[in-house]
C-alpha cells in the first residue's frame, strides 16, 4: 500500500479552459478563483482558445498547430476544468468549436477517459445550468469522465465580486473547493486503478 500513499501525494495537474474570449470574462475570474482555492497538491493552468481556427475537416490533416497543441495539453493533464458562459441556452461557439476539433479524428480524442470538472458563471439567474447540461451531453460523446457533483453554478455573478474583481462569494468558493477536491480524488482513483492493473 506504500505505492497508493505515494500516488495520493503526487501533484495533480489540471488544464483550465474558459469558453469566453472576453477580456473581462467572469468565467475566467471563476477559473482564477479555482486557481486560488485549489488543494495544495493541485496546479491549474489555463489553455486559451484564441488561436483555435474554425473547425474544418478539410484542414484536419495535418492538424493545425494550435489544435495539436491543445490536444497535447489535454492529453498530458491529469484532469480538465472547463469554465463556460451560457450563450442562448447553450455553450459559446468558441468552446464547441474547440471541442469539435478535439473529437477529430476520433482516434486522437484527448478527452477519452479524462476526468473533467464543469463550472460556470452568468449574469443571469440560472448560473449556466442549461449550458452545462449541453456541455455534459457533448462530453458524453467524447467519453470524458465528467464529475456530476457538486454543480458549480454562479448566478448574477456581477454582484459577487470584491473591489479587486475577485469572485469572493462564500457559496461559490465552498462549491469550488468541493469540486476541486472531488476532481483530485477522481485523479487519484484512476492512478490507483492503473497501478492495480499493472500488478
Ligand atoms: C450572445 C450572448 C448570449 C447570452 N445568452 C445567455 C443565456 O442564454 N443565458 C444566460 O444566463 N446568460 C446569457 N448571456 C449573458 C452571459 O451569461 C454573460 O454575458 C456572461 O458574462 C458571459 O460570460 P463571460 O463574462 O465569461 O464572457 C448571453 C450573453 C451573450 C453575449
pLDDT of residue 38: 97
pTM score of the predicted model: 0.96
Give the C-alpha separation, 79 to 183, whole Å: 7
Q: Where are the domains of the chain?
A: 2-194
pLDDT of residue 168: 87
Distance (Å) of CA 130 to CA 98, 113, 171? 19, 24, 20
- How far, in Å, is the centroid of ligand 1 from the Cα of 12? 31
- How far, in Å, is the centroid of ligand 1 from the Cα of 104? 28
Q: Which of the pair, 9 or 148, is modelled with greater confidence? A: 148
For the stretch 18-46, pLDDT in tens is 999 999 999 999 999 999 999 999 999 99
- How far, in Å, is the centroid of ligand 1 from the Cα of 100? 21
Give the C-alpha separation, 69 to 63, whole Å: 10
27 lines ligand 1 (CB under 6 A): yes
Judged against a pLDDT cut of 90, whether residue 137 lies above it is answered with yes
Judged against a pLDDT cut of 70, whether residue 1 lies above it is answered with no
On average, the pLDDT of the chain sits at 95
For the stretch 141-151, pLDDT in tens is 999 999 999 99
For the stretch 73-110, pLDDT in tens is 999 999 999 999 999 999 999 999 999 999 999 999 99
Distance (Å) of CA 97 to CA 93, 125, 148, 163? 6, 26, 23, 34
Residue 110: name the closest of 82, 72, 147, 141 by CA.
72
Distance (Å) of CA 11 to CA 19, 30, 169, 181, 185? 26, 22, 27, 13, 12
126 lines ligand 1 (CB under 6 A): yes
Residue 5: pLDDT band (50, 70, 90) is confident
- Give the distance from CA 181 to its chain's centroid: 14
pLDDT of residue 9: 82
Give the C-alpha separation, 14 to 19, whole Å: 16
Testing ligand 1's pocket by substitution, the residue of 19, 87, 132, 165 carrying the most ligand atoms inside 8 A of its CB is 87
- Regarding the domain delimited by 2-194, which CATH topology (the fold level of the hierarchy) does it fall under? Rossmann fold (3.40.50)
Amino acid at each position: 500500500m506504500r505505492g497508493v500513499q505515494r500516488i495520493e501525494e503526487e501533484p495533480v495537474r489540471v488544464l483550465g479552459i474558459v469558453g469566453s474570449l472576453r477580456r473581462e470574462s467572469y468565467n475566467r475570474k471563476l477559473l482564477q478563483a479555482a486557481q486560488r482555492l485549489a488543494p495544495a497538491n493541485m496546479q491549474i493552468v489555463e489553455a486559451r482558445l484564441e488561436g483555435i481556427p474554425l473547425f474544418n475537416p478539410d484542414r484536419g490533416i495535418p492538424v493545425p498547430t494550435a489544435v495539436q497543441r491543445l490536444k497535447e495539453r489535454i492529453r498530458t493533464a491529469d484532469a480538465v476544468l472547463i469554465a463556460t458562459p451560457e450563450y442562448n441556452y447553450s455553450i459559446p461557439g468558441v468552446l464547441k468549436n474547440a471541442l469539435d476539433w478535439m473529437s477529430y479524428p476520433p482516434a486522437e480524442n484527448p478527452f477519452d477517459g479524462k476526468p473533467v470538472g464543469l463550472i460556470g458563471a452568468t449574469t443571469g439567474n440560472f448560473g449556466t445550468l442549461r449550458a452545462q447540461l449541453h456541455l455534459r451531453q457533448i462530453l458524453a460523446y467524447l467519453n470524458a469522465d465528467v464529475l456530476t457533483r457538486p454543480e458549480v453554478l454562479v448566478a448574477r455573478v456581477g454582484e459577487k465580486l470584491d473591489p479587486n474583481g475577485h469572485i469572493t462569494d462564500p457559496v461559490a468558493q465552498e462549491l469550488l473547493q468541493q469540486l476541486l477536491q472531488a476532481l483530485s480524488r477522481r485523479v487519484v482513483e484512476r492512478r490507483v486503478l492503473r497501478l492495480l492493473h499493472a500488478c
